[in-house]
Amino acid sequence: MFINGQWCEAKDGSRFDVINPANGTVIDSVPDGGKEDVIEAIDAATEAFKTWSKATAYQRSAFLYKAHGIMLARKEDLARTMTTEQGKPLKAARNEVQYGADFLLWYAEEAKRIYGETIPAPRGDQRFIVQQHPVGVVGAVTPWNYPISMLTRKIAPALAAGCTIVLKPAEATPLCAVAMFKIFEEAGLPAGVVNLVTTSNPAAIGEEFVSNPKIAKLTFTGSTNVGKMLAQGAAANMKRVSMELGGHAPFIVFDDADPEHAAKGVSLVKFLNTGQACISPNRIFVHKSIVEPFLETLHTRVHRMRGGNGLEDGVSIGPLVGPGAIEKVERQVKDALDKGARLICGGHRLMDNDLDKGFFYAPTILADVTEDMLIYREETFGPVAPVLTFENEEEVLEKANDTNYGLAAYVYTPNIGRAFRMFESLKFGIIGINDINPTAAAAPFGGMKESGLGREGGHEGIAEYLETKLGGFSI
């Protein structure tokens, strides 16, 4: 763990193992921090806030630029750590490191653009000015599926704004966090500005984040259930929160779209990170008239995908995070098949060539999916593409919006009017129109409804770490 500028063990000396999900072997172990450790980290961040919040925007920016440079120089090592610990293919891991580094660069720049305002006052002898101030000490909780970019997406804007931070990474991927904190240390951040507490007992740390009066803000990325619980705790103490939660993205292919092009898009975005992405399509609505050519192309592409250890060449499907994830996928697929879905391919674990030692599931396509199936409502977080058909625009819009989630949605159509109608009517925070990757450090990422509160990335991302302060001056 990294607390107050020092690498340290847990106070009780305990550690927990980190497992490679591709083969079940123990890669390493990390300190198993608890309440006392996180309190020490929060105290260190509170002390560091006194000076860090007074550093100039240019000073804060310089640290972020430096960390960005070190991160890029270490891209290959970081990617290999990620593949070994999290399982995604090396090429995808490299892409994620780049995406993660982009946040350091973007917020190195944004740090210098925290502008204020002057407002005409009602009295002649009065002046109003508005400034933006850092909220204070931030508690951050990150997931395992994007173990580096989810971390920089929080740390970079927090530091740019002048906040200090205590981060708790997911228990499945602490090594990526350790590697990133070595970079922050090398960039020369003052002691206590960033602190890392690893643990196998996240509830104990979450409890401290929401109850400790020194924490001003909680930022969380993970499941909707845990997010709601933490938001309730934070509300009891009126702490600021940002919540990046689950999703259930509709992917809509209209009859005027090219079914082959759309199927190619689905094959790329659905199986990215083995389906373990919050913006992964979870209901693929294809117009009835083009569903067969769509399925044919999707099947051809999925058939070519090879599961395996992400360090090997040619592997495009890595393991799932653990046995619980496989069980969830199996339950959803069985339920769909029992209720009449058609299995186009997959539908089983991958066992050959020693893959049974890891947590692999074959890329799967289900056709004839209906609204009574679990997969129609529950986030899958696995490599299953459920395909449904529709007949007209109003019907598909209503169905697409019929979910408690509101993170990402995708639409394929060459009709500009229809594209605008869908963009404006879909109740989702991120909408890809003929585009499967509507994300970048410069763009606001986040969801509506039970997919969360607030945005990360873009200029919106830094506002989450700022308080607005009004000065009324009588002159």
Residue 248 C-beta: closest distance to ligand NAD, Å: 9
Cβ proximity to ligand NAD, 150 vs 257, nearer residue: 150
Q: Which of 244, 393, 456, 464 is catalytic?
A: 244
Cβ proximity to ligand NAD, 223 vs 401, nearer residue: 223
176 has catalytic annotation:
no
Residue 170 C-beta: closest distance to ligand NAD, Å: 4
Cβ proximity to ligand NAD, 284 vs 290, nearer residue: 284
> Looking at 92-239, which runs of residues are DSSP E strands?
117-119, 126-134, 137-141, 164-168, 194-196, 215-221
Sign of CA dihedral 435, 436, 440, 444: positive
Contacts to ligand NAD by CB under 6 A: 141-146, 150, 170-171, 202-203, 206, 221-223, 226, 230, 244-247, 278, 379, 381, 407, 447, 452
Cβ contact 453:218 at 8 Å: no
Sign of CA dihedral 279, 285, 289, 291: positive
411: alpha, beta or left? (left if phi > 0; alpha if psi -120 to 50): beta
Give the amino acid at 203: A
Cβ proximity to ligand NAD, 124 vs 324, nearer residue: 324
Residue 425 C-beta: closest distance to ligand NAD, Å: 22
Cβ contact 261:294 at 8 Å: no
Burial (0-12, 13-18, 19+ Cβ within 10 Å), 371: exposed
Cβ proximity to ligand NAD, 147 vs 162, nearer residue: 147
Please, what's the largest Cα pairwise distance for the chain?
A: 81
Calpha distance 182→48 (Å, rounded) = 18
> Looking at 369-465, which runs of residues are DSSP E strands?
384-390, 405-406, 408-412, 430-433, 448-449, 452-453
Residue 226 C-beta: closest distance to ligand NAD, Å: 4
Lookup: tokens for 14: 């305990």
Residue 147 C-beta: closest distance to ligand NAD, Å: 10
- Angle (nearest 5°) at CA 86 between 465 and 453: 25
Cβ proximity to ligand NAD, 193 vs 226, nearer residue: 226
Cβ proximity to ligand NAD, 295 vs 453, nearer residue: 453
Q: Which of 96, 163, 278, 456 is catalytic?
A: 278
Lookup: tokens for 209: 């984040």
Residue 291 C-beta: closest distance to ligand NAD, Å: 27
Cβ contact 409:426 at 8 Å: yes
Lookup: tokens for 245: 């939660």
Give 456's DSSP letter. B
Calpha distance 276→382 (Å, rounded) = 5
Residue 221 C-beta: closest distance to ligand NAD, Å: 5
> Which residues are annotated as catalytic?
244, 278
